[in-house]
Amino acid sequence: MPTFNPASPQAADIQSLFFVMLLVAAVIMAIVTGLVAYITVRFRARPGDGEPHQEFGRPRLEIAWTLASLAVVTGLFLLTIRTMRAADPPPGARSPDVVVIGHQWWWEVRYPASGAVTANEIHLPVGVRSLLRLQSADVIHDLWLPRLGRKMDMIPGHPNYVWLQPRAAGTYLGACSEYCGAQHAWMRLRVVAQPADEFDAWSRRQLAAPVAPAGGAAAAGARLFQNLTCPNCHAITGTGAAARIGPDLTHLAERETLGAGVLDNTRANLTAWLADPQRVKPGSYMPNLQLSDAQVAELVAYMETLR
């Protein structure tokens, strides 16, 4: 279970708190059920017994158990505050390293310092504490990254902040965890944690415009992309397309999935997606453009050059 396999200091803090709470709850449950079982047997009614002695009020005992409960709750409260401060210190004046914007049903990922924009994959340097600002473009979404221990609502008009600090290089899977409409289940996310040099190289690549195809099907696809309605929603650096309605496609070919995780990013899947997005992800805002097979093939050839 990802909860028991923390991959960040924040996740480890939250896990320790969870174990302390579990232990305290287990001890209380053992005491209460044990006493109930003991008393049920020890003081059961026997034949010939009369009405037992009645007692009303034991101030000392009552004060003791009230204080004991108060002590337990206060202890857990203080531990919770400590964990919250460790895992989620207020961002203060620091500006976010990454801005993640939830859309129905995909994730926009922006790097304010560099200006890079991508989708559905958050690249981060390993071991570094990165501050994420979470926003929504439409309804409430929820960023959930189990192994990184982070789960936070994305609320329209009210940015939230989380810190992410993956301990080891690798890919950490996540999902939207707040029901947000038809394709909530296919609002998947991945965090790609990279060593600093790899992350820097990735960041620089994100800013570069893809090389425009010189000829063939890819060049035909590039023209088609501009002449169809694609630029009304999508952006590709270095072309006229700059809309921010759908995912930025500048480096689409480098991403691992399509449609926020609904398909692996392969030629066959991209073909199926462009031929009829509504069959792949019903309700998605990507319309069926009624393209011919030849047009789909040209667009796919073009998309494969976007790296």
Binding site for ligand CUA (CB under 6 A): 102, 105, 141, 176, 178-180, 184, 187
- What is the spatial distance between Cα 206 and Cα 98, in angstroms, rounded to a whole number? 14
DSSP result, 267-285: HHHHHHHHH-HHHHSTT-S
| Amino acid found at 248 | D
CB of 153 to ligand CUA, least distance (A): 10
CB of 191 to ligand CUA, least distance (A): 16
CB of 84 to ligand CUA, least distance (A): 24
Name the token pair of 215: 């000829």
DSSP single-letter state for residue 232: G
CB of 140 to ligand CUA, least distance (A): 8
Question: Which distant-in-sequence residues (6+ apart) come within 8 Å of 8 by Cβ?
Answer: 147, 148, 149, 150, 164, 165, 166, 167
CB of 103 to ligand CUA, least distance (A): 8
Residue 122's Cβ-side half-sphere holds a number of Cα atoms within 13 Å equal to 35
Other C-beta atoms within 10 Å of 205: how many?
14
Other C-beta atoms within 10 Å of 151: how many?
15
Q: Which is nearer to ligand CUA, 97 or 142 (CB)?
A: 142
Q: Which is nearer to ligand CUA, 105 or 111 (CB)?
A: 105
CB of 14 to ligand CUA, least distance (A): 22
Q: Which is nearer to ligand CUA, 176 or 241 (CB)?
A: 176
Q: Which is nearer to ligand CUA, 137 or 272 (CB)?
A: 137
Q: Which is nearer to ligand CUA, 176 or 262 (CB)?
A: 176
Quote the strand ranges of the chain, DSSP E. Answer: 98-103, 106-111, 116-119, 121-125, 130-136, 141-145, 150-154, 160-164, 170-176, 188-194, 257-258, 263-264
- What is the spatial distance between Cα 77 and Cα 68, in angstroms, rounded to a whole number? 14
- What is the spatial distance between Cα 260 and Cα 268, in angstroms, rounded to a whole number? 17
CB of 12 to ligand CUA, least distance (A): 27
3-state secondary structure of 82: helix
Q: Which is nearer to ligand CUA, 139 or 219 (CB)?
A: 139
CB of 5 to ligand CUA, least distance (A): 24
The residues that bridge with 100 in the sheet, in sequence order, are: 109, 134
Determine whether 132 is exposed, middle or buried from the number of CB atoms within 10 Å of its CB (0-12, 13-18, 19+): buried
| Amino acid found at 135 | Q
Q: Which is nearer to ligand CUA, 14 or 180 (CB)?
A: 180
Q: Which is nearer to ligand CUA, 99 or 299 (CB)?
A: 99
